[in-house]
Amino acid sequence: MDAVEPAVRELLKLTPTMPVTVIAERIGWEHGLTILRERVRELRPAYLPADPVSRTVYEPGELAQCDLWFPPVDIPLGYGQSGRPPVLVIVSGYSRVITARMLPSRQTGDLIDGHWCLLTGWQAVPKTLVWDNETGVGKGRLTSEFAAFAGLLATRVHLCRPRDPEAKQLASYCASFG
């Protein structure tokens, strides 16, 4: 096998998906195909193009991504008032279950109440809640109130770095569809 490996590598460089039977024919292989098949199986991945798509896989209960969405139109709020109050959106990383609740403000107390209501509806608390740098949750560090809330739930809150949209794709994507 060592004598023909450079030729096998050249063929794989030209056509990474070439079948082993064709490789055997082109290099003049006169032995059993089992040894050649095993060696080509080891060599082939180095010549295949890299997968351009990153696939993130989440385990059940591992994380939920959180974000605020603001309605694109004014909403009647009662007593002749209207506005665009924030909507807390939480998306399960595993099942992609989406839950949302309109909040009176984006202050810490209202965000904690919104989380409590939505997670009570799930009857479960994910191991990690993923947030960007929302002021009511924390910028760089959790607010003391939100840290206490996370401790009460025995969950971790991951704050994404600023200007890192790929870190929190689910909630942002779902929130964009309202």
Render 94-145 in DSSP notation, one character per residue. TT--EEEEE-S-SSHHHHHHHHHHHHHHHT---SEEEE---TTTBSSSB-HH
Report CA 147 to chain centroid distance, whole Å. 23
| CATH annotation of 63-175 | 3.30.420.10
Percent of the chain with pLDDT over 70: 90
Q: What pLDDT band is residue 165 in, cutting at 50, 70 and 90?
A: low
CB burial string 115-128: b at 16+ within 10 A, e below: beebbeeeeebbeb
Q: With CA atoms as reference, report the closest residue to 169 among 38, 66, 98.
A: 66
Could you give phi then psi for residue 115, rounded to 5 degrees? -60, -45
Query: Which of the residue ranges 22-26, 56-60, 68-72, 74-78 would you say has the lowest mean pLDDT?
Result: 56-60
pLDDT of 10 reads: 94
pLDDT of residue 172: 47
Q: In Å, how far from its chain's centre is CA 33?
A: 42
Supply the pTM of this predicted model. Answer: 0.64
